[in-house]
Amino acid sequence: MEDDMPRIRIAEKEICSANLLKVQVGTNCPQGGDAGHGGRTLIRLVDQGGTAMQVRVDKTPSRDVGSVEILFGGDSECGTLIEALQFALDTLKSQVRSNAVVTEEDVDFQ
C-alpha cells in the first residue's frame, strides 16, 4: 500500500472443515464517495490446507479488471466459503457502523 493511502484494520478467521480456509477482511469505509475519496475494502481468501480453489481475473492476470471469478470445488469448500463470507459480512457491517461515527482523533490508520 502506498504511504499516502490510509491503512485498514484487518480481521481474520480460519474456518476448519475437511479443508482449511482463512478469510481476511477489513474496510475504512465510509469515506464519502468513490475510490478517489480513499475508501478501501479488502477480502482475501487463503488456502490453509486442502481447499480446492481456482481464480480467474478476466481470464488473465490483470491490474484493472471487469470481473473476478472464484471457483470452489466440493461440498466442504461451499460450506467454508459461506462461513467465511458471513464472517466478512458481519465484520464489514460492524466496521462501517463504527467508522461512520468515528471522530478524526479516533482514526487509527496503523
Cα distances from 53 to residues 10, 33, 68, in angstroms, run 22, 33, 13
**Domain for residue 29, yes or no?**
yes
Average pLDDT over residues 37-53: 89
- 72 Cβ contact list (under 8 Å, min separation 6): 51, 52, 53, 78, 81
Q: Is residue 53 part of a domain?
A: yes
What are the φ and ψ backbone dihedral angles of 36, each rounded to 5 degrees? -65, -20
Residue 74, pLDDT score: 79
Residue keyed to cell 461440498: 75
Average the pLDDT over 14-42 and give the result. 89
**How much is the average pLDDT of 9-19?**
93
Q: What angle do CA 99, 103, 104 make, to 5 degrees?
A: 105
pLDDT in the model for residue 110? 44
In-domain check, residue 4: no
Count structural domains, the chain: 1
C-alpha cell at 12: 481474520
Domain holding 68, by residue range, is 11-101
- Assign 4 a pLDDT band (cuts: 50, 70, 90): low
> Is 66 within a domain?
yes
Residue 57 forms part of a structural domain: yes
Q: Is the pLDDT of residue 65 over 60?
A: no
In a domain? residue 2? no
Mean confidence (pLDDT) of the chain: 81
Per-residue model confidence as pLDDT tens digits over 86-102: 999 999 999 999 888 75
- Residue 54 maps to a domain: yes
